[in-house]
Structure 1
């Protein structure tokens, strides 16, 4: 996808951690998603000016997991997404650092076993120093992606369900790095470009929930996920639906990103 292209072009540049720039890029992506009706604008949980108060984050439990001051500072400022049924990435939702969502007993948040409380994808492992999980797979999905932000250098590793780099490249002591780390700002800016260019498309699923569909090439493509009723043409930037839930062929055009709502026109 184009996010990988954008980030690979930036990977050779020296990476550095810039909290405000990373948060701005994440915010742009969430706000663009809200214009596609994938999530609602009200479901973006912005931090207050100056950052969240101690009582607004699970501070003591994060400390038990090894979060340092820089990591906690980022948590105080990054936006979250409150949607329960609309993903922010295919099969993926944000990891929201609110106290009521950290409902396990204090003693369960163990430094050497972060997986026990759903904070890390590998069993019997600790969260590496400076690494913040920003997303988790949707409940019940094995295909979601963990966004791992490295606050030491500003890079992001997108750990998906498959290995996307040569096996010999994976650091022996960092098996969670199943993809190559890239600058976080470039990664989220690339996701924005994927939405605009229709390489990623939020779509209603026949089972009454939403998904985000990814294009794998630039041809007219029938997605098995949508039982062959959703077809996407990336040549003319339109989305054609033959849907059991719609009376006729409908064409969705990319002016959704200008108007904030999909403009549907009956086809012939």
Structure 2
């Protein structure tokens, strides 16, 4: 396990420390912020009972090979529950939050289903370490990102099936954090979610679910401009016309977005 007091070359030598309460707060704040938008329902942001999620125990999660620090963290995290969608809610482009309180992690744990949520880093020596756990899963093998949380320092590191992530500053081979050398950037979770939240609240990113429960996420930052950019701007206008952010009529806005979506069913995204 990495020494949490060792300077991190990916953070200009900063010394980072694991703070489970900060992780819980960051996720809860982010999920709550998304529920204010015309997307995630507030009732789908779920919090653990006083004793933590009862299915998340050392014995039930033993097939996953995670250490006790990971188990205790997952036991106390908030989650997003969307039973109508196989992978739950997207919280960034093609990137879905994993709900460890639900199937396939309910007791008894579905070993095959749970292992399907373990990202395969190609070689056995690159397997996810016992103190590292995925917070998100990609949409498929091309689109989306796994964010892997390291409980030694509270950072998350991106990894994608399509090799689109490029390693940053590398760790020495003997450094237990060297597993990150096969991945992309490493971020402090709170800082990453703060950036994402600002994108959504400013409507540079737009997300909502259509009546079938499909997640749709656009952004207005593509260059050069294309039809997707123009359609994102149409969605921004609908949301602002319904009072965002100060006098937001959320239900009316969702209905207007569904109507827009119906009109554009034949468009190619």
Q: Is the structural similarity TM-score above 0.5?
A: yes
Which piece of structure 1 moves more, 124-133 or 144-153? 124-133
Higher helix share: 2
Matched, 1:80 2:52: no
Matches within 5 A, 1:69-148: 69-83=68-82, 84=85, 86-98=89-101, 100-102=103-105, 108=111, 116-123=115-122, 125=124, 126-138=127-139, 140=140, 142-148=142-148
1:75 aligned counterpart, secondary structure: helix
1:157 aligned counterpart, secondary structure: strand
Match of 1:150 in 2: 150
Match of 2:41 in 1: 40
Q: CA RMSD in A?
A: 3.8
Provide the rounded CA distance (Å) in 1 between the counterparts of 2:103 and 2:212: 29
**Are the structure 2 counterparts of residues 230 and 75 from structure 1 closer, same or farther at C-alpha, using a change threshold of 3 Å?**
same
Q: CA shift at 1:191, angstroms?
A: 1.4
The two structures have a TM-score, normalised by structure 1, of 0.69
2:192 to 167, 176, 187: 187
The two structures have a TM-score, normalised by structure 2, of 0.69
Match of 1:66 in 2: 65
Identify which of structures 1 and 2 has the higher relative contact order when contacts are C-alpha pairs closer than 8 Å and 6+ apart.
1
Matches within 5 A, 1:234-253: 239-240=236-237, 250=238, 252=240
**Are the structure 2 counterparts of residues 78 and 204 from structure 1 closer, same or farther at C-alpha, using a change threshold of 3 Å?**
closer
Structure 2: segments with no counterpart, 5+ residues = 1-9, 257-269
| Runs of 4+ displaced beyond 6 Å | 103-107, 205-208
1:156 aligned counterpart, secondary structure: strand
Provide the rounded CA distance (Å) in 1 between the counterparts of 2:206 and 2:218: 5
Which piece of structure 1 moves more, 161-170 or 30-39? 161-170
Higher strand share: 1
Provide the rounded CA distance (Å) in 1 between the counterparts of 2:78 and 2:181: 24
1:196 to 192, 198, 201: 201
Provide the rounded CA distance (Å) in 2 between the counterparts of 1:89 and 1:131: 21
Contact 2:48 2:76 in 1 (8 A): yes
Contact 1:170 1:177 in 2 (8 A): no
**Are the structure 2 counterparts of residues 141 and 166 from structure 1 closer, same or farther at C-alpha, using a change threshold of 3 Å?**
closer
Q: Deviations over 1:219-253 (max 9, x none)?
A: 894454xxx661439xxxx824xxxxxxxxx4636
